[in-house]
């Protein structure tokens, strides 16, 4: 007789589907964001450069799944990491990897070599790059931990911490960027820039309200015990 699967352990096909969903959602966001035309004026903020979504979206995916599936901490961390990795891969066009434009015209680069170069750049930051894929995975893991604490342990502070970048980023950009202090480039208080940051702050305010108001699984169990 085969051992019984724990009640809280979803079937393997469900786990595989959730993994695929996290990757697709993350990749779709990165792809769409990179497709937004970048402004020609260096003082105009490019909306695709918003940093907060790279923490908040992995948190949302891990929390949304956690509310519907009693996934443990490893599952939440994995979903967050996969979402973060997908966002970076979509933003930097993993599907468009091709020949290195700076390579010797007489030197043939294979497809495998092109992908190895892409991974070296975004995982290790070499040559001369920033390891954004590694950063995305780390941020996704942290977001997954916060999602698990919020949904499965009822830690409201974890949810508030996860969505706080939506409020902290616009405040920091308006306060520091206006004074010429470099902050992801440092942008002046142009009307268009202020509009983008204000909208981000509005979304952040709504996210804070949802974290406070939406009942998590842990709180629902507590209420049922009190009623019982």
Distance between CA 78 and CA 16 in Å, rounded? Answer: 12
**CA pair distance 97, 81, nearest whole angstrom:** 22
> In the chain, where are the structural domains located?
12-100+109-227
Q: pLDDT digit of tens for each residue in the chain (228 aa)?
A: 444 444 455 677 777 787 888 899 999 999 999 999 999 998 889 999 999 999 999 999 999 876 666 568 888 999 999 999 999 999 998 888 765 555 555 566 677 877 888 888 888 888 777 899 999 999 999 999 999 999 988 899 999 999 999 999 999 888 876 554 444 457 888 899 999 999 999 999 999 999 998 876 555 444 444 444
Burial pattern 30-61, b for ≥16 Cβ within 10 A else e, equals: bbebeeeeeeeeeeebbbeebebbbbbbbbbb
Q: How far apart are CA 70 and CA 152, in angstroms?
A: 8
Alpha-carbon gap, residue 217 to 67, rounded angstroms: 6
Query: What is the CB-side half-sphere exposure of residue 28 using CA atoms within 13 A?
Result: 8
What the block records as the tokens of 150 is: 């919020």
- Burial group, residue 90, by CB count within 10 angstroms (0-12, 13-18, 19+): buried
Distance CA 176, CA 30 (A): 26
Cα 103 from Cα 35, distance rounded (Å): 26
Measured CA to CA, the distance from residue 14 to residue 17 in angstroms comes to 5
Let me know how many helices (H) and strands (E) the chain has, helices first. Answer: 9, 0
pTM comes to 0.81
């Amino acid at each position: 007789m085969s051992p019984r699967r724990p009640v809280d352990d979803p079937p393997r096909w469900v786990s595989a589907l959730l993994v695929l969903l996290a990757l697709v959602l993350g990749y779709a966001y990165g792809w769409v964001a990179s497709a937004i035309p970048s402004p020609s004026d260096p003082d105009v903020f490019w909306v695709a450069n918003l940093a907060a979504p790279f923490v908040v979206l992995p948190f949302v995916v891990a929390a949304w799944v956690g509310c519907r599936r009693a996934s443990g901490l490893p599952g939440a961390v994995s979903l967050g990491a996969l979402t973060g990795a997908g966002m970076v891969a979509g933003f930097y066009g993993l599907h468009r990897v091709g020949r290195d434009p700076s390579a010797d015209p007489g030197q043939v680069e294979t497809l495998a070599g092109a992908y190895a170069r892409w991974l070296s750049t975004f995982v290790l930051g070499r040559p001369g790059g920033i390891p954004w894929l590694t950063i995305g995975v780390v941020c996704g893991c942290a977001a997954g931990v916060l999602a698990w604490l919020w949904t499965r342990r009822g830690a409201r502070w974890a949810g508030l911490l996860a969505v706080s970048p939506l409020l902290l980023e616009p405040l920091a950009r308006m306060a520091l960027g206006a004074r010429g202090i470099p902050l992801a480039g440092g942008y002046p208080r142009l009307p268009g820039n202020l509009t983008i940051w204000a909208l981000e702050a509005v979304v952040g305010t709504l996210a804070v309200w949802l974290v406070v108001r939406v009942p998590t699984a842990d709180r629902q169990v507590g209420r049922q015990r009190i009623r019982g």
